[in-house]
Amino acid sequence: MAEFDKLSILLPPELSRSVRDAVDGERYAVESDVIIDALQDWQVKQKIRAAKLERLRELIGEGFASGSEEMASDEFEQIKREGRALLAARKTAE
């Protein structure tokens, strides 16, 4: 038999109602099964989010490794001008 820890949780009324509806609708046997299922989904999402963040860090590292470490001030100014022009164009389109 699996080992369980007992926890006491507080839920907003709409979530509490959703848990009860899931049990009343016979999709789950007891309320804790609903919470376990939701937490397992949450764990998967957390792992995916962590993997995406790690990949982003790798890509940033690759970007730094592939280019010069310093950006010339005229390059920086050009990027700012382009960004401002794009922003102005978006505001005009709205």
**pLDDT for the residue numbered 76:** 78
**pLDDT for the residue numbered 92:** 86
Question: Could you tell me the CA-to-CA distances from 23 to 2, 6, 45, 91 in Å, in that order?
Answer: 21, 19, 24, 49
**pLDDT for the residue numbered 69:** 62
**pLDDT for the residue numbered 61:** 87
Task: Tokens 């998967």: give the residue.
Answer: 44
**Ordered per-residue pLDDT tens for the chain, 94 residues:** 689 999 999 999 999 999 999 999 999 999 999 999 999 999 999 999 999 999 999 998 888 788 766 667 778 788 889 989 998 988 888 7
**pLDDT for the residue numbered 60:** 86
**pLDDT for the residue numbered 19:** 97
Query: What's the distance, CA 6 to chain centroid?
Result: 28
**pLDDT for the residue numbered 77:** 85
